[in-house]
Amino acid sequence: MVKTVLVTGGCGFIGVNFVRLLLANHKDWQVINLDKLTYAGNLQSLAGVENEPGYTFIRGDICDSALVADLFEKYQIDTVVHFAAESHVDRSITGPAEFIQTNIVGTFTLLEAARKQWLREGEGRSDLCRFLHVSTDEVYGSLGKTGYFTEETSYDPRSPYSASKSSSDHLVRAYFHTYGLPVLITNCSNNYGPYQFPEKLIPLVLNNALQGRELPVYGDGGNVRDWLYVRDHCEAIARVIENGTVGQSYNIGGHNEKKNLEVVELLCDMLDVKVGPLKSGESRRSLITFVKDRLGHDRRYAIDAGKIAEELGWTPKFTFETGMEKTVDWYLNNRAWMESVMDGSYRKYYEEMYGS
């Protein structure tokens, strides 16, 4: 079925990879990319797709109700894939207000626009529409040494970021139960791969290690995350859009539990092989520096992705090792992208393309 998809946050890390996937695999779909282009939104990450016949970029804020309503009307949006969010836990601790505004108010604005457009009396469009809200496993809180998050796990957020995402999840469910809005929710584990902003662990470590800088590791480095290659995540989202049951949530995980310290050490070892050790001859592991632990740092996340496997036939294609190999090679082959992000010059790309 031909779809007109509003992708929010399509210039962010996962959004970029998803837009590229849709344009490659669903050429009959129309993709409307709405992004505010905050510090983590990089239009240059979509270089080469600007002139695709099925692609339109709109610079704007999901909290702008007039703009969002106009987009629904103008483009007759029938599918929303909602990535746009403030997502960095450290930033949510030092400045939570932006997280409340974007993650809660922004989600509410989109839900209202979808409700008013899709549920208008007499039109009966809702059966053909889908609102997919992309969320996180962090809403579930922290696990002990055993067990997994399932779709039935109670919410227990521990940071302003996870609390704001929990709130938006509840809003989405409320619009399903109250109004019958055709919603879907996905809760994913930690993503990694190309185009990730270098405040997150893997690109941060890659950049610092290449520069010979310290590699900060929180606490004892024993915090465990389930790592999901971003391509796998994007393919899972596309599967949920097409075949997911309205009103349901689907956990998406990579089956790759790793301690943070293990991830950092693997990156050091891979770079030592691919680009050589430090000038001193030491391994990049010598750059690892343990720092004071993050406030409210959850100890372990692990996803049970059995539901999406059983109902929709999705399982991850990439192991952590194969995904990391592709990720490291991508960053090594795209150092200019990383440098432009680090010095902010990527913003010039937008001005050149669309004006200031």
Asked whether the predicted pLDDT for residue 125 surpasses 60, the reply is: yes
Give the pLDDT confidence score for residue 329 in this predicted structure: 97
Give the pLDDT confidence score for residue 124 in this predicted structure: 61
The reply to whether 68 falls in a domain is yes
Of 2-6, 39-43, 94-98, 274-278, minimum mean pLDDT range: 39-43
Q: Which of 161, 229, 250, 331 is catalytic?
A: 161
What average pLDDT does this structure show over 112-127?
Answer: 83
Mean pLDDT in the chain? 92
Q: Give yes or no: 137 in active site.
A: yes
Confidence of residue 349 (pLDDT cuts 50, 70, 90): low
Asked whether the predicted pLDDT for residue 342 surpasses 80, the reply is: no
The reply to whether 338 falls in a domain is no
Of 162-176, 260-274, 342-356, minimum mean pLDDT range: 342-356
Q: Give yes or no: 138 in active site.
A: yes
Which of the listed ranges 41-50, 150-159, 343-352 does the model predict with the highest average pLDDT? Answer: 150-159
Task: Tell which residue, 311, 180, 210, 174, has the closest CA to residue 251.
Answer: 311
Q: How far apart are CA 309 and CA 128, in angstroms?
A: 24
The reply to whether 47 falls in a domain is yes
Q: Give yes or no: 50 in active site.
A: no
Of 45-54, 186-195, 334-343, minimum mean pLDDT range: 334-343
* CATH code for the domain of 118: 3.40.50.720
Q: Which residues of 69-80 are buried (b: 16+ CB within 10 A; e: fewer)?
A: bebbeeeebbbb
Q: Which of 86, 138, 235, 265 is catalytic?
A: 138
The reply to whether 16 falls in a domain is yes
Asked whether the predicted pLDDT for residue 259 surpasses 90, the reply is: yes
Task: Tell which residue, 112, 36, 43, 107, has the closest CA to residue 72.
Answer: 112
What average pLDDT does this structure show over 75-91?
Answer: 94
CB 41 within 8 A of CB 62: no
Q: Which residues of 318-328 are buried (b: 16+ CB within 10 A; e: fewer)?
A: bebeebbeebb
The reply to whether 344 falls in a domain is no
Range of the structural domain that residue 63 is part of? 4-192+230-255+296-317
Task: Calculate what percentage of the chain has a pLDDT beyond 90.
Answer: 81
Show the CA angle centred on residue 42, arms to residues 343 and 260, nearest 5°: 75
* Structural domains of the chain, count: 1
What average pLDDT does this structure show over 147-165?
Answer: 95
Alpha helices in the chain (DSSP H): 13-25, 65-75, 89-94, 97-99, 106-118, 160-179, 201-211, 230-243, 260-274, 306-312, 320-333, 335-343, 347-354
The reply to whether 349 falls in a domain is no
Show the CA angle centred on residue 341, arms to residues 340 and 342, nearest 5°: 95
Q: Is 155 exposed, middle or buried (0-12, 13-18, 19+ CB in 10 A)?
A: middle
What distance separates the 2 farthest-apart alpha carbons in the chain? Answer: 73
Summarised one tens digit per residue, pLDDT across range 273-326 is 999 999 999 999 999 999 998 887 888 999 999 999 999 999 999 999 999 999
Summarised one tens digit per residue, pLDDT across range 193-207 is 999 988 889 999 999
Residue 352 CA: distances (Å) to CA of 295, 342, 345, 346 = 41, 19, 11, 10
What average pLDDT does this structure show over 170-177?
Answer: 98
Of 66-75, 192-201, 343-352, minimum mean pLDDT range: 343-352
Asked whether the predicted pLDDT for residue 9 surpasses 90, the reply is: yes
CB 287 within 8 A of CB 209: yes
Q: What are phi and psi of 279, to 5 degrees?
A: -55, -30
CB 209 within 8 A of CB 266: no
The reply to whether 355 falls in a domain is no
Q: How far apart are CA 49 and CA 157, in angstroms?
A: 37
* DSSP code per residue over 287-316: GEEEEPPPTT---B--B--HHHHHHH----
* Strand, coil or helix: 222: coil
Q: Which of 35, 61, 78, 137 is catalytic?
A: 137
In single-letter form, the type of residue at position 77 comes to I
Residue 173 CA: distances (Å) to CA of 48, 117, 317, 329 = 37, 18, 30, 40
Q: Which of residues 166 and 345 earns the better pLDDT score?
A: 166
Of 28-32, 199-203, 300-304, 347-351, minimum mean pLDDT range: 347-351
What average pLDDT does this structure show over 157-185?
Answer: 97
Asked whether the predicted pLDDT for residue 185 surpasses 80, the reply is: yes
* Strand, coil or helix: 211: helix
Asked whether the predicted pLDDT for residue 347 surpasses 90, the reply is: no
* DSSP code per residue over 239-267: HHHHHPPTT-EEEE--S-EEEHHHHHHHH
What average pLDDT does this structure show over 74-81?
Answer: 97
The reply to whether 221 falls in a domain is no
Task: Calculate what percentage of the chain has a pLDDT beyond 70.
Answer: 95
The two tokens of residue 253 are 């995980």
Which residues lie below 8 Å from residue 3, measured CB to CB, with a gap of 6+? Answer: 26, 29, 30, 78, 79, 241
Give the pLDDT confidence score for residue 280 in this predicted structure: 92
